[in-house]
Amino acid sequence: MRMRPWLDGATILLASALGLVVEIVAGRLLAPYVGMSVHSWTAVIAVVLGGFSLGHWWGGRLAGPDCDRRRGHLRLFWLLAGCAATTLLAVPALRMAAPFLDAPGVNPLVAMLGFALAGFLAPSLLVGAVSPIVTKLAVEEAAKGETGRVLGRLFALSALGAIGGTLAAGFLLLAWVGSSGAMLVCALLYGLLAAMNLAAAAGARVAVAAGAVAVAAPGLASALPAFARLCDAESAYACLRVVDAEPLVGQPARLLVLDHLAHGVNVRDEPRLLVQPYLHLADELLRRRGLSDRPRAFFAGGGAFTLPRAWASEFPEADLVVAEIDATVADLARSAFWLPDSPALTVLARDARPALQALPPGPRFDVVFADAFQDLAMPVHLVTREWHRAVRARLAPGGAYLVNVMEDRRQPRFLLALVRTLALDFPHVEVWVEMAEQPPGRRITYLVLASDTPTEAARIAAARGPPRGWARLPPDFVAARAEAAGVPVLTDDYAPVDRLMSHLILSPEASGR
């Protein structure tokens, strides 16, 4: 009898913890297919909560009048064994769904919901059915007048488990074993918890056999091709993949993919060759504006470190500071993208905004370049007026703030809001685009430049590297479009980036699907 409260408490605590671990890991597992955005997280949370709700209803049905202590533990065993099995199958289920959902023409929202349903509805439903049975067993055996205390204890353990699972997923499992590894760990623990409940229903001998299966199954599954890692490296922020770009470039080169988007191409033997047009434009544009042979630049976001690598190679006395919040990205740039250690280059493993604001105000930099993304959108805190003021406070006279923006070619509402916001603190705001024929689709790349001095040329032809040309959109045209669109000024209090870009993010054509 004295063991029953401990088993009830352990079941509630661990089931709640594992349910939240699976929910957190779900967002990371979906990222290589659909990215990680407010939309993908909304899909995951909706599906998991829906599973919990259906599970609670079903668990209440299972906790009927016939559910005595023995039957209750037996039902808990089957539910938890099902949690172990469906958690183990979640990763293969995502890969089986990929040919249908990660395909051209599939609406991104449909893909997000489809992947979430395929991988995470079943384990959420099954774990949701656990708590009504445990609660019923505990309440029926509570001493007279102790029902409230028993319920309070179980609810507290459930909440504590959810908190512990969230912390374990975010700070331990994803960082140490990765997303697929975290699912294997959850399957193992679900299996052992199932065996504990089987022991209470059928005895230790049978439970030992079930426990052996619970231990062996994740280990055997990890060797299957379905559990082969999609990522060359995985961090708490992204799935990082290194893709051979030699067929594209014609010489040894590599492409960095973060989740499902390309973030940089580095050429092994020519660090100054800028394959991506927007980086090529940034280099040419700044040279036209008088880039010195000792450039002082701050980069918000590292990616493949393509432009910092090029400038560090050409300007050994430069002062280049790169704030890259994900240390794994910087490590991969060194190990796989030929980023050398250079006295010209300082890498800060820190978010760009606090990194820049920690520097003393004053004219330190000739260039600040924001090239950071969460999925297709820029991080909200790097688009607001407060951030722009911090940037301007650290730019030298004549210095330039550059922003890489992926947007819609027809209705670039976020771009227009960004331009309107920048114009409040910078006398000159320019929007540049490549003059070459753009690939089909709505998504194109803009380069925004803000400064206290204008760029004299309205068109630029590449002076080196691939033959390319770029044009500045007429400022009056851009300002008129911003006014006609009625876009807001972006502030720390109100910066609806996802809403402004929803027409692009949720477009099959524009998202690259």
Distances (CA, A) of 390 to 16, 27, 381, 406: 43, 32, 12, 23
224 and 290, same domain (yes or no): no
SS3 per-residue string spanning 224-247: CHHHCCCCCEECCCCEEEEEECHH
In a domain, 184, yes or no: yes
Final residue belonging to a domain, choices 198, 228, 258: 228
219 and 275, same domain (yes or no): no
* pLDDT tens per residue across all 513 residues of the chain: 466 888 999 999 999 999 999 999 999 999 889 888 888 999 999 999 999 999 999 999 999 999 999 999 999 999 999 999 999 999 999 999 999 998 887 888 899 999 999 999 999 999 999 999 999 999 988 888 888 999 999 999 999 999 999 999 988 898 888 899 999 999 999 999 999 999 988 888 888 888 888 888 888 887 878 777 788 888 878 899 999 999 999 999 999 999 888 889 999 999 999 999 999 999 999 999 999 999 999 999 999 999 999 999 999 999 999 999 999 999 999 999 999 999 999 999 999 999 999 988 888 899 999 999 888 889 999 999 999 999 999 999 999 999 999 998 888 999 999 999 999 999 999 999 998 776 656 788 999 999 999 999 999 999 998 999 999 999 889 988 988 889 999 999 999 998 998 888 777 765 554
> By the 8 A CB rule, do 455 and 287 touch?
no
299 and 390, same domain (yes or no): yes
3-state secondary structure of 449: strand
In a domain, 484, yes or no: yes
184 and 285, same domain (yes or no): no
What's 42's domain CATH number? Answer: 1.20.1250.20
Global pTM reads: 0.88
330 and 199, same domain (yes or no): no
426 and 284, same domain (yes or no): yes
Residue type, 509: E
In a domain, 243, yes or no: no
Domain count, the chain: 2
> By the 8 A CB rule, do 373 and 301 touch?
yes
96 and 170, same domain (yes or no): yes
Cα–Cα nearest to 30, from 125, 121, 122, 112: 112
In a domain, 72, yes or no: yes
**C-alpha count within 13 angstroms, C-beta hemisphere, residue 188:** 13
Name every residue whose Cβ is closer than 8 Å to that of residue 237 and which is 6 or more positions away in sequence: 325, 326, 328, 329
For 174, the domain range is 3-228
294 and 199, same domain (yes or no): no
458 and 317, same domain (yes or no): yes
In a domain, 510, yes or no: no
201 and 331, same domain (yes or no): no
Final residue belonging to a domain, choices 200, 228, 256: 228
What's 288's domain CATH number? Answer: 3.40.50.150
- Give CA 495 to chain center in angstroms: 19
